[in-house]
Structure 1
Amino acid sequence: MLVTRRTQMSKKKEPHLNPEQESTENTAPQEATETSAENVVDSAESDTIAESPESIQAALEAEVAALQDQLLRNQAELQNFKRRMTEERIRDRVLANVELVRALLTPLDDFERGLLSEADNEQVKPHLKGFAMIRNSIIEVLKSQGLEEVEARDRPFDPKVHQAVATEKQPDIEPGKVTEVYQKGYLFKDRLIRPAMVKVSE
């Protein structure tokens, strides 16, 4: 009985596959391989498109343009810095000269007052000529450096350059004119360093 069953089991046939099923099973691995290969090709083509010569050139041109723009900005900043430094040095020199010139005005005023007060003294007249020459030489040197005397006498009063310290009524003079100068005013390089002290008609 056992022999018969074993014989029957041994005689059982393996499941039979029709040609279509065999074809499907045989082609499935091949299709998977082809699909994988196509994906690799597509990925490679995508990378090639992303790194095409045109895109690389465009990226390089953009980078060059950015660098050129930054270079121009740096050059402009450098020029502005140099200009500011030059202007500051000039301003510092001018300010230093202004203080020096302003300090010299008081001795010049003393020279002028001394020359006027002793003009009638015959004994000192020869010395006054020498003092006048020294004063005039100093004035000429200062004028060559930018000193200008403020015009005042017989001029309309200008509060920008004149300082009224007295007024007077004169029928033959129109109001608002400078009739007398007590102390000369000066400009240095077009900058007022001392206003003229004047008397003004009412």
Structure 2
Amino acid sequence: MTGQAERPETETDEEISGAEAEAAETDGNDPGTALAAAEAKAAENWERYLRAAAETENVRKRAARDVKNAHKFALERFGKELLAVKDGLEMALAAAENASVESLLEGSEATLKLLGSTMQRFGIEQVDPEGEPFDPEWHEAISVQPSDAAEPGTVLTVVQKGYSLNGRLLRPAMVIVAED
């Protein structure tokens, strides 16, 4: 293929710069020069390929490292928040020797409230289905009792509350259900 065939038809020799015209003439007349140019272009493309392959490998390694760190430190913020709850419990135990029952009760309630707010900040919600229809997806029936006050299949008592994390069940509520 010559330089003339590569140009759009509307161009004339006057529109082509002197260097381009000279290169077009040389490419068309000297196969050795054309071969050298093709080899140089191939070498340049090979270098581009190697750089792109290396960059792709670096991105893959970086992504793998980021995923590993995400798994490793995913609970870091949650763990730090729980430390405040642990500190509260330790202070309550240390003060228990000289404290009244009322102050221990107040401290326990404050610690429970702190734990509840920490859990809520991280999307952990309590499942307390008392009075609701039994749902085997969210509740685990441990007993069935007859009841005149509740509809059959209704949760009478919650023995152990359940919990969900961002709408996904962590632990089902352990319940007693009204008999059919």
Shorter-chain TM-score: what band? 0.5 to 0.7
CA 1:157 to 1:169, structure 2 compared with 1: closer, same or farther past 3 Å?
farther
After TM superposition, the structure 1 = structure 2 runs for residues 158-197 of structure 1, keeping only pairs within 5 Å, are 158-159=136-137, 161-168=138-145, 170=147, 172-173=150-151, 175=153, 177-188=154-165, 192-197=169-174
Contact 1:157 1:200 in 2 (8 A): no
1:129 and 2:109 correspond: no
For structure 1, the 5+ residue unaligned runs are 1-47, 109-122
Partner of 1:74: 54
After TM superposition, the structure 1 = structure 2 runs for residues 5-20 of structure 1, keeping only pairs within 5 Å, are none
Q: Describe the superposition over 1:53-112 as per-residue Cα deviations: whole angstroms up to 9, x where unpaired.
A: x222222222222322232232222222222222222222336768x97xx8xxx9xxxx
> 1:136 deviation in Å?
0.3
CA 1:148 to 1:93, structure 2 compared with 1: closer, same or farther past 3 Å?
farther
> 1:125 deviation in Å?
5.0
Partner of 1:147: 124
Range with greater deviation from structure 2 (132-141 or 58-67): 58-67
d(CA) in 2 for partners of 1:83, 1:191 = 27
Contact 2:128 2:158 in 1 (8 A): no
- Equivalent of 1:86 in 40, 51, 66: 66
| Structure with higher helix content | 1
> Counterpart of 2:161 in structure 1: which amino acid?
K
For structure 2, the 5+ residue unaligned runs are 1-29, 90-99
> Counterpart of 1:82 in structure 2: which amino acid?
R
Partner of 1:119: none
d(CA) in 2 for partners of 1:174, 1:72 = 67
Q: TM-score, normalised by structure 1?
A: 0.49
1:157 and 2:157 correspond: no
Report % sequence identity.
Answer: 21
Q: TM-score, normalised by structure 2?
A: 0.53
d(CA) in 1 for partners of 2:72, 2:168 = 14
Please provide the CA RMSD for this pair.
Answer: 3.6
Count how many residue pairs are aligned between Structure 1 and Structure 2. 131
